[in-house]
Amino acid sequence: MTEGVPERAQNMVAESVAGGVRRNSEATRAAILRAARHRFAADGYDRATIRAIAADARIDPSMVMRYYGSKENLFATAAEFDLRLPDLSDVPADRLGLALVSYFFTRWEGDSTLPALLRTASTNPAGAERMRAIFTTQLGPAVARMVADPDEAPRRAGLVASQLLGVALTRYVLRLPPMVDITPAELIDWLAPTIQRYLRDPTPPFVDHEVSGRNRDRTCH
């Protein structure tokens, strides 16, 4: 009565696979990758354990190492991130904000990669570096093609990122109720003017705020 039962895996949310059959290499590689994406998205890099990913893929943890070498390498390929920004060169300049916001929602609502990246980049330095790289190599150049003055592109791209990532954060990660309940269509109507302004409007201050001409310096209240 040594009770040496190794605790059967009875995870309800696991890959569906007939009992005991063998899969070919490609299938398990894909299964691992899919489980990894889900776990990284739900828990972030640190809390997503190799053991949990393996359990979801109905496989031994050692197989993950065999196929992907290390956890860091697994994350690197799981979080391969291509914004796949479409060509917006034929969109009229005054509709760029609407086009960009619409596209980002069609991209995010069904893809949990961004929350995964967000969760990871918040705590993992390598994740943050990856986020900065995506910003520099993908969003940056795309925004550069939309703005009037190329010198202002990085700054405007940063502002766009602050609003779009803020929405992703509050809606998908923090799950603030009002941001979860609102429909994508309504959200697009609210956000499009903001993004449009960050992309195309002249640098503020447009006019000196209101009539009372004192307190020119608004930095520290």
Task: Indicate the residue among 31 and 139 with the shorter CB distance to DNA.
Answer: 31
Return the number of the residue (10 or 24) whose C-beta is nearest DNA.
24
Q: Which distant-in-sequence residues (6+ apart) come within 8 Å of 123 by Cβ? A: 44, 45, 46
Quote the least distance from Cβ 86 to a copy of itself, whole Å. 9
Q: From the list 30, 93, 126, 174, which residue makes contact with a copy of itself (rule: CB under 8 A)?
A: 174
> Is the CB of 50 or the CB of 160 nearer to DNA?
50
State the nearest-atom distance from the C-beta of 183 to a copy of itself, in Å.
7
Q: Which does 190 bind (CB under 5 to 8 A by kind): DNA, a copy of itself, none?
A: a copy of itself
Q: Which of 78, 146, 167, 199 binds a copy of itself (CB under 8 A)?
A: 167
Nearer to DNA, 18 or 207 (CB): 18
Q: How far is the CB of 32 from a copy of itself (least distance, A)?
A: 22
Instruction: Output the six-digit token pair for 87.
Output: 């060509």
Tell me the three-class secondary structure of the chain, residue by residue: CCCCCCCCCCCCCCCCCCCCCCCCHHHHHHHHHHHHHHHHHHHHHHHCCHHHHHHHCCCCHHHHHHHHCCHHHHHHHHCCCCCCCCCCCCCCHHHHHHHHHHHHHHHHCCCCHHHHHHHHHHHCHHHHHHHHHHHHHHHHHHHHCCCCCHHHHHHHHHHHHHHHHHHHHHHHHCCCHHHHHCCHHHHHHHHHHHHHHHHHCCCCCCCCCCCCCCCCCCCCC
Rg for the chain (alpha carbons), in Å?
23
State which of residues 57, 105, 142, 147 lies at the interface with a copy of itself (CB under 8 A): 105
Contacted entry of DNA, a copy of itself, none for residue 177, CB cut-off 5 to 8 Å set by kind: a copy of itself
- 184 is an interface residue for a copy of itself by CB under 8 A: yes
Residues forming contacts to a copy of itself in the complex (CB under 8 A) are 43-44, 46-47, 92, 94-95, 98, 102-103, 105-106, 118-119, 121-123, 128, 131-132, 135-136, 154-155, 157-159, 161-167, 169-171, 173-179, 182-185, 188-190, 192-194, 197-198, 204-205, 209-210, 217-221
